[in-house]
Structure 1
């Protein structure tokens, strides 16, 4: 699984977060997506990598601009995750 962290310009309220989240859920196969207009970011968890150009295009259609995308492996962190090391 992968985690993508997007810095997004233009989100100013909870409705903006909903627009971005809904667009990502409709156009891509994701496990989880959360946005924060205060941080100016969206975090996506997916089984496999998402094409960054398609992601930028989908979000720009909603009127927001993707400034940066950071991709990293995702490891679920639970209460007993410290035992796995």
Structure 2
């Protein structure tokens, strides 16, 4: 599993978060996605490693701009993550 944190410019409200989540889900297979307009970021949990180019392509028609990108391995913590 991989955790990708994407800094996104242009999110102003909860509807922006939903729009970004939907745009990414349409183009990329994700396990979980959470966006925050207050933090200006989207966190994606996925089975496969993602690239900045994939995220930018998924958001190309949405009007939002990727300003930062970090992808790394993710291990679920807690009792059920073992």
Does the CA-based 8 Å contact 2:28-2:58 persist in structure 1?
no
Does 1:33 find its partner at 2:45?
A: no
Local SS of the residue matching 1:18: helix
State the Cα RMSD in Å: 1.6
Residue correspondences, number:
82
Normalised by the length of structure 1, the TM-score is 0.88
Q: What is the rounded CA distance, in whole Å, between the counterparts of 2:68 and 2:60 in structure 1? A: 13
Alignment correspondent of 1:55: 55
Q: What is the rounded CA distance, in whole Å, between the counterparts of 1:80 and 1:23 in structure 2? A: 30
Matches within 5 A, 1:1-85: 1-79=1-79
Local SS of the residue matching 1:5: strand
Does the CA-based 8 Å contact 1:60-1:66 persist in structure 2?
no
Shift of 1:57: 2.1
4+ residue stretches of structure 1 with deviation over 2 A? none
Normalised by the length of structure 2, the TM-score is 0.91
